[in-house]
Protein backbone atom coordinates (compact mmCIF):
# COMPACT_ATOMS: atom_id res chain seq x y z
CA UNK A 1 0.00 0.00 0.00
CA UNK A 2 2.06 2.82 -1.32
CA UNK A 3 0.09 5.70 0.24
CA UNK A 4 0.90 4.31 3.66
CA UNK A 5 4.58 4.42 2.86
CA UNK A 6 4.20 8.08 1.82
CA UNK A 7 2.66 8.92 5.19
CA UNK A 8 5.71 7.73 7.10
CA UNK A 9 8.13 10.19 8.64
CA UNK A 10 11.55 10.02 6.96
CA UNK A 11 13.15 9.77 10.40
CA UNK A 12 11.43 6.52 11.32
CA UNK A 13 14.07 3.92 12.09
CA UNK A 14 11.95 0.85 11.32
CA UNK A 15 9.78 1.66 8.29
CA UNK A 16 8.35 -1.86 8.05
CA UNK A 17 7.11 -1.74 11.63
CA UNK A 18 5.70 1.76 11.14
CA UNK A 19 4.05 0.71 7.90
CA UNK A 20 2.44 -2.27 9.61
CA UNK A 21 1.26 -0.04 12.43
CA UNK A 22 -0.27 2.35 9.89
CA UNK A 23 -2.12 -0.47 8.13
CA UNK A 24 -3.27 -1.94 11.45
CA UNK A 25 -4.56 1.50 12.49
CA UNK A 26 -6.56 1.83 9.27
CA UNK A 27 -8.03 -1.64 9.73
CA UNK A 28 -9.00 -0.77 13.30
CA UNK A 29 -10.67 2.46 12.13
CA UNK A 30 -12.69 0.47 9.60
CA UNK A 31 -13.67 -2.05 12.29
CA UNK A 32 -14.78 0.79 14.58
CA UNK A 33 -16.85 2.31 11.76
CA UNK A 34 -18.54 -1.07 11.30
CA UNK A 35 -19.29 -1.33 15.02
CA UNK A 36 -20.76 2.21 14.94
CA UNK A 37 -23.01 1.25 12.03
CA UNK A 38 -21.29 3.64 9.61
CA UNK A 39 -20.01 0.84 7.38
CA UNK A 40 -21.55 -2.46 6.36
CA UNK A 41 -20.52 -5.19 8.81
CA UNK A 42 -20.40 -8.23 6.44
CA UNK A 43 -17.20 -6.98 4.80
CA UNK A 44 -13.87 -7.88 6.37
CA UNK A 45 -12.02 -4.61 7.19
CA UNK A 46 -8.90 -5.91 5.39
CA UNK A 47 -10.94 -6.48 2.23
CA UNK A 48 -12.38 -2.97 2.44
CA UNK A 49 -8.92 -1.46 2.84
CA UNK A 50 -7.55 -3.38 -0.15
CA UNK A 51 -10.57 -2.47 -2.29
CA UNK A 52 -10.34 1.24 -1.47
CA UNK A 53 -6.60 1.19 -2.10
CA UNK A 54 -7.04 -0.43 -5.50
CA UNK A 55 -9.75 2.03 -6.53
CA UNK A 56 -7.62 4.97 -5.38
CA UNK A 57 -4.55 3.83 -7.29
CA UNK A 58 -6.25 2.53 -10.44
CA UNK A 59 -6.29 5.90 -12.16
CA UNK A 60 -3.00 7.08 -10.68
CA UNK A 61 -1.13 4.37 -12.56
CA UNK A 62 -2.68 5.38 -15.91
CA UNK A 63 -3.16 9.17 -15.93
CA UNK A 64 -3.38 9.39 -19.73
CA UNK A 65 -6.57 7.33 -20.06
CA UNK A 66 -8.71 10.46 -19.98
CA UNK A 67 -8.07 13.62 -21.97
CA UNK A 68 -6.59 16.47 -19.99
CA UNK A 69 -8.86 19.44 -19.38
CA UNK A 70 -8.21 22.52 -21.49
CA UNK A 71 -6.20 25.17 -19.73
CA UNK A 72 -7.53 28.68 -19.40
CA UNK A 73 -5.85 31.38 -21.47
CA UNK A 74 -3.36 33.48 -19.49
CA UNK A 75 -4.72 36.79 -18.24
CA UNK A 76 -3.14 39.95 -19.58
DSSP letter, residue 71: P
**Does residue 5 surpass a pLDDT of 70?**
no
Asked whether 73 and 67 are in contact (CB, 8 A), the reply is no
How high is the mean pLDDT of the chain? 80
pLDDT at 58 exceeding the cut of 90:
no
Report pLDDT for 16.
63
pLDDT at 47: 94
pTM attached to this predicted model? 0.61
Q: Which residue has the higher pLDDT, 32 or 62?
A: 32
Tell me what the mean pLDDT of segment 49-76 comes to.
79
CA distance 22 to 44: 17
Amino acid sequence: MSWGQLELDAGDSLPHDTFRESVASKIEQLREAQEAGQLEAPWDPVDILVLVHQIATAWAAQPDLLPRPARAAPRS
